[in-house]
Amino acid sequence: MLRRVATIPPTTGPAARPFRVSWRAADSPTRLRLATAATVLVGIALSIGGWYAIDRRDTAIDDAAAAAAQLIQVQDVRVQVVQADSIASNAYLLGGQEAPELRAAYDDRIDDAGAGLSRASGDATETDEPLLGTAVQQFARYVGLVEQARANNRQGFPVGAAYQRQARTVASELAATLQLVEQNTRQRVDDSMSRAYRASWLLVVTALLALAALLVGSAWLSRDFRRLLNVPLVVAALIAFLVLTVGVGTNARAAGRAGDAVREPLSAADLVAQARVAAFDARSSEALTLINRGNGAAYEQQWQLSASIADIALERACDEHGVGCGSMDDFDAYAASHAEVRLLDDGGDWDDAVDLATSDAPATDFAAVADTTADALAEQASLAQDRFDRADDALGLLRIVVVLAGLAIAALGAIGYGQRLREYR
């Protein structure tokens, strides 16, 4: 082998074609110089490619975390609005002088919803900005209509009921607008996560390239120059190997942790939030079936729709994530009380139906649903935020380590081939 390589005479001199170098035609020093250049290039490529890949993943994880936070925020606004409307409907159903504690509860929800809406608008993407603009307008309209309903009710004017109905319609429109924002935001979480997964290929490719170049180079040296091991090249190969295993592994773990945040607590929080909105919606519809005294069929349809959403969402949260399982029983208990309310009202016993709905079982059962889901939601949401925060902890350091590794590979390559090259001087 060695003889064959050594005896091949140069067919064309470097002078004849100064800018083209042929590996086959080159003599050993030229080959060593070429190998040095290639190794340095591969090392620098690893530095740049690795930096870029890790940075992209870091950004993608940050985007996913931001979208997750926005999703939780917007869902919270929707819960507050639906809850406020359910309180307003129930207060109207109770009639008489508005109970101060109900009024205070309504005001709290409206304050929270308003503050949440303004935060969500601040964090909105370009796509969601017009939607959230619409939501702000609908929110203002809703609050105005409820005030008009109250003003009329206080004077005993039945037109208050018409305002209450209209407020309810606007609240539904507002909830639908927020739902669109939620859908977009959910998509943004998913897209960012896909980007985070895809982003690692450049690190893998450049590290593989470096490792391959160093292994081939070492093999070539040991074969052609009869050296068992070239220490700098072997160290460089080891570094490339470590980047591939530890670096790529760490990078993958970061995406994995973010993925876990999405798959587990965020998905659970999403389902529980949807269950909460649907449950409060059902409670509102229940009040409306009674406000429409003996003629609640249309709102009973809405109750059933909302109840089925709450049911499915709670069941999935429990089955898939083991979250909110206790709320399922609470909701079943509430649904049973609701059935009793409808039975009373449909049977002509409106007064007892109202008593039952407002002061007895459903109120307590419903409060249980509201409380347990609130706790589950808060827990899962903060867990998700936490995991996202920790997901890219290691990436900052990894980025620097990979850049240094690339540079070290370049330097070690130059040193390793340099040792052989010196033998020709």
Partner 1 sequence: MRRFVAVALAVVAGAVAAGCSGDARLPDEVQGSVVEPTVVPTTAPPSCSNAEAAEPATRTYAPLDEQPAPGEMPAGSTMAEIAERGQLVVGVSGDTLLFGSRNPLTDTIEGFDISVVQEVAKAIFDVAGEELEDRIVYKVITYAQRLPALEAREVDLVAHTMTINCNRWLRIAFSSVYYQAGQKVLVKTGSGFDTIADLDAAGARVCAPEGSTNIDEIRDTEKYPGLVVVAKPDITDCLVAMQQGEADATTGDDTVLAGFAAQDPSTEVVGPTFTAEPYGLGMNAADVDLVRFVNGVLERLRADGTLDAIAQRWLVDTGALDPEDIPPLPEPDYSRAMP
Instruction: Answer whether 362's CB lies under 8 Å from 337's CB.
Output: yes
Q: Does 255 bind partner 1 (CB under 8 A)?
A: yes
Q: Does 248 bind partner 1 (CB under 8 A)?
A: yes
Site for partner 1 in 14-33 (CB under 8 A): none
Residues 384 and 192: their CA atoms lie apart, in Å, by 15
Identify each DSSP E strand in 54-206 by its residue range: none
CB 308, min distance to partner 1, A: 4
CB 307, min distance to partner 1, A: 8
The secondary structure of residue 98, as a DSSP letter, is P
Count of residues touching partner 1 (by CB under 8 A):
80
Instruction: Answer whether 334's CB lies under 8 Å from 311's CB.
Output: no
Q: Does 230 bind partner 1 (CB under 8 A)?
A: no
Report DSSP letters for 269-332, one per residue: HHHHHHHHHHHHHHHHHHHHHHHTTT--HHHHHHHHHHHHHHHHHHHHHHHHH--SHHHHHHHH
User: 175, 278, 405, 410: which one contacts partner 1 (CB under 8 A)?
Assistant: 278
CB 422, min distance to partner 1, A: 25
Phi-psi region of 306 (alpha: psi -120 to 50; beta: other; left: phi over 0): alpha
Site for partner 1 in 347-406 (CB under 8 A): 348, 350, 354
Q: Does 153 bind partner 1 (CB under 8 A)?
A: yes
Q: Does 233 bind partner 1 (CB under 8 A)?
A: no
Residue 25 or residue 312: which is nearer to partner 1 going by CB?
A: 312
The secondary structure of residue 262, as a DSSP letter, is I
- Fill in the amino acid letter for 160: G
Binding string, 164-203, against partner 1, x = CB under 8 A?
-xx------------x--xx--x--xx--xx--xx-xx-x
Binding string, 57-96, against partner 1, x = CB under 8 A?
--------------x--------------------x--xx
Residue 26 or residue 252: which is nearer to partner 1 going by CB?
A: 252
User: 86, 90, 206, 251: which one contacts partner 1 (CB under 8 A)?
Assistant: 251
Stretch that binds partner 1, among 110-118, 252-260, 327-335, 360-368 (CB under 8 A): 252-260
Residues 385 and 97: their CA atoms lie apart, in Å, by 43
Who contacts 336 (Cβ-Cβ below 8 Å, separation ≥6)?
365
Phi-psi region of 27 (alpha: psi -120 to 50; beta: other; left: phi over 0): beta
